[in-house]
Structure 1
Amino acid sequence: MAYEQFAYLYDYLMIDAPYESWREFVKKKIKQYGRANSTRLLDVGCGTGELSIRLAQDGFQVTGIDLSEDMLAVAQAKAEESGVLVEFFQQNMTELDGFAPFDCAVIFCDSLNYLQSEEEVRQTFTRIYEHLYPGGLLMFDIHSTYKMEHVFANQTFANNEEATSYIWHCFPGDAPYSVEHELTFFVQQPNGMYERFDEWHVQRTFPVERYKQWLLSTGFEVLDISADFIDELPTETSERIFFVAKK
C-alpha cells in the first residue's frame, strides 16, 4: 500500500483517538511547569495535523514535523480549511534541525514507539533538547510494555463499515517489547467496487526507567511520569505512559 493512500485513511483509522485529551494535557502541563508566556510549540510526528491544528486554535504558534510528505499534505489542507496557520516540515525526529528554539515539544500518539533502537530514542531526545529554550518542556507518551505484551501481541482488531473496512493483526516483533502491525483496508471506489490496501508497521517500546535514564543523561529534568490520562503513577497494567521533562 502506498503511504499516500494510507495518509488519507489515517484519520478514519484514528477517528476515536483521544485528541482532546492530549490537547488538555498539553495546556495543563504548560500551565503547571512551563515557561511564562509559552507559545512556540513543536509537534513531532504530527501525522495529519489533528493535534497541531487544535493547539494552534488555542493560540500556540505550532510547527509540525513528520516523515511522510503525504501525511503533511493532508495536514496542510486541513489547517487551511480550519483557518489556522501551522508550519509543516518533512523531517526525521532523530535528525531535527534548523529551527529557532521552542517553548515546548510534544511527541504524542505513541509516535516515539516507531523508533526501533535505544540510539534513535536518545538521538531524538538530544535533538529536541538542542531546540528548546532553557526551561522548555518535552512531553511525550509511549505504549507500555504491558500493552505490547498483553493488549497487542497476537490480537486481531476489525471494523466493518460500508465505505471503508479494515482488519488489523498484531504479531510479536523480533526485538523485546515490539509489535508488528499488519493492516488490510477495503475501500469502496466510485464505481462501487472495493479496492484492497495493505500496510505494515513496527513499533517498539522500552521500560519506563530506561526512558527516564535517557532523559536524564541528555540533560533533562524529569518532572512528571503518569499513565492513561489520569495523572497518576503508572501501574503494572497501565497502557499509555506520559512523560514531562524540562530542559
Structure 2
Amino acid sequence: MYDVLAEVYDQLQDVDYEAFADYYEAIFQKFNCQPSLVLDLGCGTGNMTLAMARRGYEMIGLDCSVEMLEIAAQKARDQQKEILFLNQDMTTFELYGTVGAMICALDGVNYLTGDGQLEEMLQRLHCFLDPGGLLIFDVNTPYKFQKVLDGQTFLYDQDDIYCVWNNEYDAEEQICYFDLNIFLRDADGMYIRRDEFQEERAYSALELQECIERCGLECAGIFDHLSFLPPKTESERLFFVVRRPLSAAGGYADEKIF
C-alpha cells in the first residue's frame, strides 16, 4: 500500500497540517496531557510528524511503507530534525519504551480493514502508551463513504501528474475500494501509467467506542472535524480521543516499560 503513491503523495494532498497540530495541542490541554515523546502512527511522508517536531515534541514516526519512510527521513534531514522512523505495522509494532501520546492522522485507522486488526492496534497501544496518555485518531465516517465517495471519480491534474481516483463502497462488507490511475511525465515528456489499489473500512462511532472499551481503554471524547463539537449525522470526519486509564486508586495502572 502506498508504494506507487509515495512519490506523488505530497503533491496530491491538500491538508493543513498546522491546523491538525493546533488541534492536537488543544486536545492535550483540554485533557491535561503533557507529552514530550509522541508516536505518529501511519506517519506516511512525515508531514504531521515534522509539524509536531517543529513545536518541540520528540517524535517517532511509524509506517508500513518503506517508500514513504524514505521520503519522511529525507525531509527530517533537510529540516535538521532528529526523528526515529520505524518500518512497522500499526497492529504489531514494538517500541523500546512507552510514549506520552500517540497520533494517527488522515484516516489511518480506516485502513485497518481485517477482522480484529483494530483491536490488535488498540492492544499494542495499551502496552506502549503511558498511563494517562492519549491516542488521538480521526476516521472517515460511514456517511462519507456512502454519500460522498461511493460511485465518485476525482481528477487531479498538475504539471507533471495526472491522477484518476475511482471510488466504490460495498455497504454489506463496509469496505470502500479506491482505484487510482496515476500518470507521471518523464524527462522526455511522455506519461507513464502507474496503478494503485487501496481500501478502507467504515467504522461506526459506536463500533469504535465499544472496541476501545473492550481493550481496557477510555473513550474520552468523540468530536466533529477539528473541533470540540459533537458528531453530526452528516459529519464526514470524526476525531477520537482515547486515554489509557490510571488505576482506580489514582496511581499508575502499572509501571512504564523500559
| TM-score bucket (shorter structure) | over 0.9
Sort the Cα spacing of 1:34 and 1:92 in 2 relative to 1 into closer, same or farther, 3 A.
farther
Unaligned 5+ residue runs, structure 1? none
Cα distance between partner residues in 2 of 1:192 and 1:123: 46
Q: What is the CA-CA distance between 1:3 and the residue it aligns to?
A: 4.8
2:12–2:156 CA contact under 8 A, matched in 1: no
Query: Aligned ranges for residues 226-245 of structure 1 at < 5 Å?
Result: 226-245=223-242
In the TM superposition, residue 98 of structure 1 has moved relative to its aligned partner by 2.9
Instruction: Tell me if structure 2 keeps the 8 A contact 1:34–1:135.
Output: no
- Partner of 1:54, secondary structure, is helix
Deviation at 1:214, TM superposition (A): 0.9
Q: Spell out, residue by residue over 1:178-216, the C-alpha distance to the aligned partner (whole angstroms, 9 max, x if none).
A: 210011111111111111111110100211011011111
Greater helix share, structure number:
1
Instruction: Write the mapping of 1:1-247 to structure 2, written as runs, cut at 5 A.
Output: 3-14=2-13, 16-36=14-34, 38-173=35-170, 176-247=173-244
Identity between Structure 1 and Structure 2 (%): 28
Contact 1:187 1:196 in 2 (8 A): yes
Moved more, 170-179 or 50-59: 170-179
Q: Distance in 1 between matches of 2:238 and 2:81?
A: 30
Q: Are 2:167 and 2:176, in contact at CA under 8 Å, matched by a contact in 1?
A: yes
How far apart, in 2, do the equivalents of 1:239 and 1:86 lie?
32
TM-score (norm: length of structure 2): 0.91
Shift of 1:110: 0.3
Q: Secondary structure at the match of 1:97?
A: coil
Deviation at 1:118, TM superposition (A): 4.3
Aligned residues between the structures: 244
Shifted more, 27-36 versus 59-68: the winner is 27-36
RMSD: 1.5
Unaligned runs of 5+ in 2: 245-258
Q: TM-score, normalised by structure 1?
A: 0.94
